[in-house]
Amino acid sequence: MIAYDPSEQGALSEAENQAQACPGLEELTGGDWLCSPSLLPVDSEPLLRAHLANGAVLFQIKRSHDFTSSVGTRLHTSLARMKEVTRNTWQRVLCITGTPLPDSEGLATMSHLRFTEHGKPYTLPQPQTGTHVTFAALITAQVHWSTCGGAGPFVLPSEDYFLPFLRTYERAYAERVKTILPHRLKLYEPVADDPLQTLQLVNDGREILAALPGIGLERATLAMQQWSNAATALAYLSNPRLYHDTPECYPRGIGEKTIEKIHAQLGGAVEPVYFTEGEY
């Protein structure tokens, strides 16, 4: 699942048309795009935090000279916010559309891939307007990002390559690529009672529940049996008031302390999500 912050809507319309809008994404996380292995919605802060706890990747996208104007405080702030809400370096990705190149005076230009009518590629450099950031400063900013807790940067030749870039991350989730999601490969279970049977990968709503504090795969399985889907389970597991009123509704092994820890991690209770049969 792909989501984006609609505050800059229209900048990458092709990708936006195939993504969920998530208002406030950048303010809360420092990223303006998100790719998650779960199909649950991202229409509330607790749900967003649940996605991040389950290994969702944040992307800070810099288009053309938005990159040059972001060198310094803006990039530092974005990375700091990402580090506050994620556990892993690979969840904080910087992506740049346009290729940085120096001009004759050492100032940075941004070049975009273009094609002639005969299909021959060429680049069209764009000089800065209003700023005088050097090419060396751009290199320093990229090194800073990758050495201070961020992944990348990934430099794409033009905006046309952004959606395929996101789709690559989606495929990595679907295929459980080890270099992208090392901790998620632990979610295996026996196919049958025979312990010598081949293990199969858990690939359902239990994934996002198992990432919550005090849950794990066994209790996630019980929660799915009790509440049928991950959305309803999250609503119960993150709500201390519901536990206080109806403790008999909770599976064995899930108590008040666990509920309080989940509530604290998600920043509140997840509102129940209503959807038609067969979704998620």
Contacts of 192 by beta carbon, 8 Å cutoff, 6+ apart: none
Is the pTM value of this prediction over 0.75?
no
Q: Which amino acid is at 5?
A: D
User: Where do the domains of the chain lie?
Assistant: 2-175, 187-266
pLDDT digits (tens, 9 = 90+) for 158-189: 888 899 999 888 877 766 534 333 344 344 44
Q: Which CATH number fits domain 187-266: 3.90.79, 1.10.10, 1.10.150, 1.25.40?
A: 1.10.150
pLDDT digits (tens, 9 = 90+) for 54-112: 888 999 999 878 888 888 888 999 999 999 999 889 999 999 998 888 888 889 888 87
Q: Which pLDDT score is estimated for 41? A: 82
Q: Which pLDDT score is estimated for 272? A: 62
Q: Six-digit token pair at 213? A: 């504090």
CATH fold of the domain at 2-175: Rossmann fold (3.40.50)
- Write the CA distances from 84 to 19, 52, 70, 199, integer angstroms: 24, 11, 20, 35
In whole angstroms, what is the distance from residue 79 CA to residue 149 CA?
8
Sign of the Cα torsion 41, 46, 49, 50 reads: negative
Residue carrying the six token digits 């909770």: 250
Q: Average per-residue pLDDT in the chain?
A: 81
pLDDT digits (tens, 9 = 90+) for 198-213: 444 445 677 778 878 8
Residue carrying the six token digits 């290199």: 139
Is 37 within 8 Å of 184 (Cβ atoms)?
Answer: yes
